[in-house]
Amino acid sequence: MQPEDQTTTYLLFRLGDEYYALASGMVAEIARWRAPTVVPGAPPAVSGIINQRGVVMPVIQVGLLLGMTVTPPDRATRYIVAHYEDIHLALLVNTVIDLIDLPEDAREPPPATLNAQQARLLQGVLRWQGRPVSLLSLAEMIATVRPNS
């Protein structure tokens, strides 16, 4: 196999009108939205905790981390249950679209127009059906929520 043929499987999802993706290896499952238990004193990006198959995990408002206006949940709202090392978390997203294979060699750096926080959370940008898809870094999301990490 030639290097230019290498693809990675991503979970494609939407936040607002924008498309994002997360490497599928970090995704455990997709869960329907239900109201999280609010934890007073938690950072604004943590909307609470949920119990998913016996594991209690924080809910991260990804849109808020990216500086977006958070919209109320609707029928399409989902949790992406993900893990990084031994940390489990539920990512709140507007819609989960599909698992897709994207070619790694087409990856571009994040646009220069992003602010520092947004750029930090992105590993790069790929194209899917002509649309830009931003690749999210789970490690950077965790570091942003937990500033001392």
Task: Using CB under 8 A, list all residues that contact other proteins.
Answer: 37-43, 46, 49-51, 54, 56-58, 86-89, 142, 145-149
Q: In what order do the strands lie in the sheet with 55-61?
A: 27-32, 78-84, 87-93, 55-61, 46-52
What values do phi and psi take at 117, rounded to 5?
A: -65, -45
Cα–Cα distance, 143 to 131 (Å, whole number): 28
Minimum distance of other proteins from residue 144's CB (angstroms): 10
Residues 123, 137 contacting (CB under 8 angstroms): yes
Complex with other proteins: residue 133 or 145, whichever CB lies closer: 145
CB under 8 Å to 34, separation ≥6 — which residues? Answer: 50
Complex with other proteins: residue 56 or 106, whichever CB lies closer: 56
Minimum distance of other proteins from residue 7's CB (angstroms): 31
Minimum distance of other proteins from residue 106's CB (angstroms): 32
Residues 19, 131 contacting (CB under 8 angstroms): yes
Complex with other proteins: residue 36 or 63, whichever CB lies closer: 36
Minimum distance of other proteins from residue 112's CB (angstroms): 30
Complex with other proteins: residue 57 or 96, whichever CB lies closer: 57
Residues 68, 16 contacting (CB under 8 angstroms): yes
Complex with other proteins: residue 3 or 54, whichever CB lies closer: 54
Cα–Cα distance, 47 to 40 (Å, whole number): 9
Minimum distance of other proteins from residue 35's CB (angstroms): 9
